[in-house]
Structure 1
Amino acid sequence: MPTVAITGAAGAIGSVTAETFEDAGWNLALLDYGEENKTTLDSSFPDAHTFDCDLTDEDATRKAFARIDDATELDAVLAIAGGFSMQAATDATMDDYHRMMALNVQTLFNTARAALPVLTKQDQSFLLGVSAPAGLDGQANAALYGASKGAVAAYVKSLGKEEQEAGLRTSVLYPMGVVDTPANRDAMPDADPSSWIAPRELAAGMLHLATRSPRGHVPELKVHAATE
């Protein structure tokens, strides 16, 4: 059975993605930050390899992927971990800048660097990053978020070009709308979530991307919310 490593695995999207890959017969290596999240992962996925890992910490990330390498062959990495914030571009502070870049770019950067030597032991492997519409076209009051997500896409695409001969395929996932998560429902209690993107649709899209052959590679996938 192939093995997938999922970062942000205890989150609303990551946990559904883990379920989807497990149901499809994949072995799981699940990473999230904090003892509470690891406890949740251990309870929900008792057969998985689980890790409490701060992905902004380069050494901790390398150690986690070394442990994955010791336990199993690694075929795919889904770098889902990230974060969101809103502030006007001219009001943003250096703390805002560092937080967005750490959550979205640094976590991906550390994950990719730690995972690549493990992934490329296989003849074919896969890595996915998650961007956003703000990373394509910008977004008012979310300039730093958009900048960090644009960097995610550029990094993943560049990595794919560099490592293609090593058998690595990379894809960028774009959720093109609000994702139906508990946090978003709490933040927008008056909105109608029936038109939002279901996390399970994103998970299904990631499974599709991860299971393509080199002759059917999909470098980008945009998943849209329902429209009237």
Structure 2
Amino acid sequence: MTRTALITGAGGALGGAVAEAFADAGWRLALLAHRADTARDLSARHPDALVLTADLTDEAATRGVVDRVLERFGRVDALLGLAGGFAMGPAHEASSGDLDRLLALNVRTLFNSVRAVLPAMRDRGDGFILGVSAAAAEEGGSGMALYAASKAAVAAYLRALRAEVREQGVRVTTLFPMGALDTPANREAMPEADPSGWIDLKDLAATILHAAERDPRGHVGELKVYATPARSA
């Protein structure tokens, strides 16, 4: 039976790489994007995929798009919660609105997505859920108080969820990219940095695919991915 992957944040750099990896492995794709122009680009790259736009911070909207995925494919075998956001700034200058925004982008989008797909996974006794935390959730970082807090909340939520659903056959993995991702946006934002020490998106996508396809008897609970800097000549 062909498996179905629901990828949130599919319009981002990591989401695009993950979509390519899962498509190449024969998975059916349901791709969620926030903007219509991004959705059009995804449809062009993946003509067989179901591509939808939604505000995943809205519970009703999230349930609506997941219902459409279930109508099309009948099931969701893997939820890859890649939607999220990033912001930096001094803690003493942060507003409650800044906090609300990061919690909405990083926690609520995942929470709403999980709530929408989990009942069917539990009833079926099978499924895979992945969410993305960050090195900052464990290590902190100057200017990252709110971002670190939101990603720590993601890690705590998934850890508790894993304990709750593992006996129902649902596997839950927390991904920790332990460094910068090699994306066009990061290269533009940090033009003086050496990207050889950053995490390659194709490698990271292959790692996510491996976690999704592992035998349930030995699934990966928490996955930390580091870049291997290029060796000097």
Q: Is the TM-score greater than 0.5?
A: yes
Aligned to 2:208: 206
Aligned to 2:182: 180
Please identify, of 153-162 and 179-188, the stretch whose mean Cα deviation from structure 2 is larger.
153-162
Please identify, of 115-124 and 31-40, the stretch whose mean Cα deviation from structure 2 is larger.
115-124
Please report the TM-score for the alignment, with normalisation by the length of structure 1: 0.97
Please report the TM-score for the alignment, with normalisation by the length of structure 2: 0.95
In the TM superposition, what are the counterparts of 1:89-104 in structure 2 within 5 Å?
Answer: 89-104=91-106
| Deviation (angstroms), 1:38 | 1.1
In the TM superposition, what are the counterparts of 1:151-170 in structure 2 within 5 Å?
Answer: 151-170=153-172
Please identify, of 202-211 and 112-121, the stretch whose mean Cα deviation from structure 2 is larger.
112-121
Aligned to 1:33: 34
Unpaired segments ≥5 residues, structure 1: none
Do structure 1's residue 77 and structure 2's residue 93 form an aligned pair?
no
Tell me the matched-pair count. Answer: 228
The residue type paired with residue 10 of structure 1 is: G
Aligned to 1:192: 194
| Deviation (angstroms), 1:63 | 0.6
Of 197, 221, 226, the match for 1:224: 226
Aligned to 1:60: 61
Unpaired segments ≥5 residues, structure 2: none
The residue type paired with residue 209 of structure 1 is: A
CA distance in 2, matches of 1:159, 1:35: 32
**Does the 8 Å CA contact 1:75/1:122 hold for their aligned counterparts?**
no
| Deviation (angstroms), 1:21 | 0.3
SS in 2 for 1:90: helix
The residue type paired with residue 188 of structure 1 is: M
The residue type paired with residue 172 of structure 1 is: T
| Deviation (angstroms), 1:123 | 2.9
SS in 2 for 1:148: helix
Q: State the identity as a percent.
A: 51
CA distance in 2, matches of 1:217, 1:17: 19
Aligned to 2:14: 13
CA distance in 2, matches of 1:131, 1:185: 21
